[in-house]
Amino acid sequence: MLPALLTGLGLGALVAAQVGPVSLLCIRTTLRYGFAPGLAVGAGAATVDTLYGALGMAGAASLIGITPVRLTFGALGAAVLVLMGARTLRTAQRVRIGLEVPAEVVTPARALRTALAATASNPLTIASWATAFAAASTASVVGGWSDGLALLAGIGTGSIGWFAVLSAGVAVAGRRLGDRAVQAADVVAGAGLVGFGALLGFRTLRDG
């Protein structure tokens, strides 16, 4: 089980470390609202990664291979990311650091829900996790359900571990940054989310 756990830790951390919509959300949320909400974004991502990893291990990738299902999920995922990006860009136009009303302040629970939606918006990654499990099985890392569970535990732990490091680093750096830096983070995150959503939509249509 130990090799499977260590492999999962590496996979989870490496996947989380890639620049993507959730990483942008984590950085932007941490800069605006602090370490706890930023870490909550990471927790949401780790939860979905672990769930999708389990679905990949269970063979759900074959379902995503059905064209109508793939097109539906891809289109919905693209729409979710573009909507999140548009909302973030709108926020960038009205920087009100320290002047937010209570409804505008992001709590860890709200950040967690946002991250769950952002990460789950690309269910096509189930196929990627299925490939990772197949590779692990071929390499004799996963030999049974116990090893599979250890791999899943490692994926979740590695993912949240990376986001904890990222959130802590951004929180420390954020203390030295002003309002303009936070506004810039909003713009970058918003544009990135719209871009990732457009890319997901393009790939969905192209592969459909």
At 143 the pLDDT is 60
State CA 65 to chain mean position distance: 22
Q: Are 98 and 29 in contact (CB under 8 A)?
A: no
At 164 the pLDDT is 94
- What are the φ/ψ torsions at residue 65 (nearest 5 degrees)? -70, -15
Q: What percentage of the chain carries pLDDT values higher than 70?
A: 70
At 97 the pLDDT is 45
pTM, rounded to two decimals: 0.72
By CB atoms closer than 10 A (0-12, 13-18, 19+), residue 139 is exposed
At 25 the pLDDT is 85
For the chain of 208 residues, list the mean pLDDT of each consecutive stretch of 10.
79 79 85 89 88 73 63 73 75 53 64 82 66 59 70 87 92 76 74 77 73
At 64 the pLDDT is 58
* Packed helices 21-33 and 108-120: angle between N→C axes, nearest 10 degrees: 170
At 105 the pLDDT is 53
